[in-house]
Structure 1
Amino acid sequence: MNIWELIVALILGVVEGLTEFAPVSSTGHMIIVDDMLLQSKELLGSQDVANTFKVVIQLGSILAVVIVFWSRFMDLLGIKKQDQSGSSRLTLSTVLVGLLPAIVLGFAFEDFIDTYLFSVETVIVGLVAGAVLMIAADWKVKRDEKAGIGTKIDGLDAISYKNAFLIGLFQCIALWPGFSRSGSTISGGVLLGLPYRAAADFTFIMAVPIMAGASGLSVLKNLEYFTADMIPFFAVGFVSAFIFAFISIRFFLALISKIRLLPFAIYRIVLAFVILGVYLNMN
């Protein structure tokens, strides 16, 4: 394992950490940074090893969410109850209801998605369509504010089973690569009447079990690639993804209520054109 290979692992970990939970599509960024520029598949000598690495760095990002929301997860698991002050709390069953649509559709269409939807063209479509959804969410909030209409759902702990299920349906849109899980679910939550911060919190909390489950299974299926030569590469990517995901999540949560979704939507559209330009130049 040479220095350049470790630098590639570091760069990809940083890209994963910064984009996995921001509503900008980590898939789109990986296409332009890895598939078009760094080409870890060629570096590692195998697409399977490259895919395993991407799963490993995704686990680093997931760990960052767990740390940021540690008290909330302990509360959900009944390990450490937060001060309820006589009010209702978000429950584990509510989170599971939100996960149900994506789990069912993900299993049902896994082969179709892997075969037909992972391409540069489909990611570009997802980036632009996801941006339109985010702009629509912002537009609705501005319209309601002008009409003197407040949020319909007070906050994270006021999410009902119905709300969770509907937000889960929005999460299903992210099965199309490029849409972004956080972009779809935050937009869905806002459209349903959640404050931006509560929609973001619920999005991140829902992401952990579904992503950890899928990534964990993938790691178990590919343990053969965790050789002594590859461990340093995986470790650098994992640690860098964790650190930059932690920074990205804290920064995003502090800003989302102020800047809302429009800046991210504009960024996604610009990114789509950049990917299209690079793709056309390469072909």
Structure 2
Amino acid sequence: MNEYLVAILLGIVEGMTEFLPVSSTGHLILASELMGYDAAQWAVFNIAIQPGAILAIVALYWRTFLAVGRGLLSWEANSVKFVRNLLIAFFPAVALGLAFNDQIEALLENAVIVAWALIAGGIGILVVERLARTENVLGIAGVSFAQSVKIGLVQCIAMIPGVSRSGATIMGAMALGIDRRTAADFSFFLALPTLTGATVLQLFKHRDALTADSFGLIGVGFLVSFVVALAVIKAFLAVVTKHGFAPFAWYRIVAGAAALIWLSMR
């Protein structure tokens, strides 16, 4: 398969799945199995194009970033709490990511784990949707210190490929009583330090694999993931507002079951 075609397809997968509760990493792993290309060859590429999806959050929420930045200059309470909550939730991922980086990378080679994680995560979403009792907490600044710590701990479950970082954080927040929209926004903003940190760490670790020839492919994947993520985030919020997270749960269950059947028949 043409390398630029693979780059475009992976950019689409990254942009479509990074902020949905369906696991971008899991889909990229399954894509390598389905399309039959060398996953190891594209491992660094998959990491390098993540900032494209991250940039989509900055583009969509630039007014919020500007307001928070101005608030911090005057030490405004809501802005301080906004940043505090995100940093608190980010810390557990830093600690566990650094401590178990090699073990986490080993899991990325197992498509069967991805398939089972998709199914388990789908069931988990359905359970939380049915049982969670949420209330409006008035935005990220309204999330408590303790809730932020717990969301950060739940996010760490997503180090298992197929679990979904966004799914874990959103469902974790809802299980703690946080309303859907605030839970989704918390997940979006928490993605910035989490994915940026993970990207920097992995690119530094695998810096020898980056060559001049790879930058063109990375640029294509970056741009595609950015454009696709812009559209997907808007559509995601519309779907969640109207239908909740159940459609994504059923998708996960069907996709995971189909992947298990296909992997067993190869």
Q: TM-score normalized by structure 1? A: 0.85
Deviation sequence 1:3-28 (CA, Å, 0-9, x none): 92211111110011000110011122
Letter in 1 for 2:11: G
Deviation sequence 1:81-102 (CA, Å, 0-9, x none): 49x9x98344212111111222
| 2:82–2:140 contact (8 Å) kept in structure 1 | no
Name the counterpart of 2:56: 64
| 1:113–1:176 contact (8 Å) kept in structure 2 | yes
Are 1:88 and 2:87 matched, yes or no? no
CA distance in 1, matches of 2:211, 2:107: 31
Q: In the TM superposition, what are the counterparts of 1:162-173 in structure 2 within 5 Å? A: 162-173=146-157
Name the counterpart of 1:203: 187
| 2:119–2:257 contact (8 Å) kept in structure 1 | no
Deviation sequence 1:116-153 (CA, Å, 0-9, x none): 56412211221122112211221024xx4xxxxx6163
Name the counterpart of 1:104: 95
CA distance in 1, matches of 2:237, 2:22: 15
SS in 2 for 1:185: helix
Match for 1:14 among 12, 15, 31?
A: 12
Indicate the percent of aligned positions where both proteins have the same amino acid: 37
Name the counterpart of 2:105: 114
Match for 2:237 among 253, 262, 265?
A: 253
Name the counterpart of 1:138: 129
Aligned length: 263
Query: Following TM superposition, where does structure 1 have runs of at least 4 consecutive aligned residues deviating by more than 6 angstroms?
Result: none
CA distance in 1, matches of 2:178, 2:139: 6
Letter in 2 for 1:178: G
| 2:174–2:180 contact (8 Å) kept in structure 1 | yes
| 1:16–1:58 contact (8 Å) kept in structure 2 | yes
CA distance in 2, matches of 1:109, 1:229: 31
Which structure: larger Rg? 1
Are 1:52 and 2:44 matched, yes or no? yes
Residue 208 of structure 1: how far off its partner (Å): 0.8
Deviation sequence 1:42-69 (CA, Å, 0-9, x none): xxxxx2x411111111121111122222
Q: TM-score normalized by structure 2? A: 0.90
CA distance in 1, matches of 2:250, 2:222: 29
Residue 171 of structure 1: how far off its partner (Å): 0.8
| 1:174–1:180 contact (8 Å) kept in structure 2 | yes
Report which stretch shifted further, 195-204 or 25-34. Answer: 25-34
CA distance in 2, matches of 1:116, 1:264: 23
| 1:12–1:34 contact (8 Å) kept in structure 2 | no
CA RMSD between the two structures: 2.3
CA distance in 2, matches of 1:217, 1:65: 21
CA distance in 2, matches of 1:95, 1:281: 43
CA distance in 2, matches of 1:12, 1:38: 13
| 2:29–2:108 contact (8 Å) kept in structure 1 | no
